Amino acid sequence: MKLQLEKITSSQRWAIGAVALAVLIACSPQAPEEPAQPKPSEPTLHTSGTEAPDTTAGTTAAEAAQLVAPGFAGDWASAEAECADPAKMLKLSADRIEMTPSAQSCSVKSISEEHPTGRSMIYTISADCLAGGKTSADNFTLNFGPSDTVMQLQLNDRQPMRLVRCP
């Protein structure tokens, strides 16, 4: 028995292809269904411009930091070559800001987050800082463009400085 392909119309070829695809899908092994896991309730550390109600009651800053790591968390330096020198790095987390070059250590009090455009982010951080034996209440602004590996850090009203994320 010889098929005569020249007599099969394009719509018939399409139908044969659709049936073949349906058979392949039906015969393919299915991934086992995982039972739905309830999401743990996460405290709100970030807000969009205004302070949100405190949902972290009874949670310390360290515990909250373990639950939600902000996008700025990690090691930073003014140039990637300086990442190899711990004396030139900044360490940022949800609960601490360690600015080794200026010997400034800060305890984060609050964080707010804004997304003015698609991928850009602006974090505003209030912190109690200690530098040279003096304490101060400082405000940090971390401004990200479309990349999460480069940002501008502005401390209070000082000139912003460009930082790169250390690998």
Give residue-wise pLDDT tens across range 84-130.
999 999 999 999 999 987 889 999 999 999 988 888 899 999 999 99
Q: What is the mean pLDDT of residues 29-47?
A: 48
* Cβ partners under 8 Å of residue 123, min gap 6: 46, 70, 71, 72, 111, 112, 113, 114, 140, 141, 142, 144
Please report, as a single letter, which amino acid is at residue 141.
T
The larger pLDDT score, comparing residue 50 to residue 79, is at 79
- Mean pLDDT, the chain, rounded, equals 77
Q: Structure tokens of 13?
A: 């070829």
* Whether 82 contacts 89, CB under 8 Å: yes
Place of tokens 């999401």: 39
Statement: the pTM of the whole predicted model exceeds 0.75:
no
* Whether 140 contacts 125, CB under 8 Å: yes
Each as own residue / partner, the long-range contacts of residues 90-94 (CB below 8 Å, 24 or more positions apart, any chain) are 90/153, 90/163, 92/142, 93/65, 93/69, 94/45, 94/61, 94/64, 94/65, 94/68, 94/69, 94/70
The larger pLDDT score, comparing residue 20 to residue 65, is at 20
- pLDDT given for residue 29 in this prediction: 64
- pLDDT given for residue 117 in this prediction: 84
Q: What is the mean pLDDT of residues 60-89?
A: 81
Q: Where are the domains of the chain?
A: 61-165
Q: How far apart are CA 163 and CA 167, in angstroms?
A: 13
Please report, as a single letter, which amino acid is at residue 18.
A
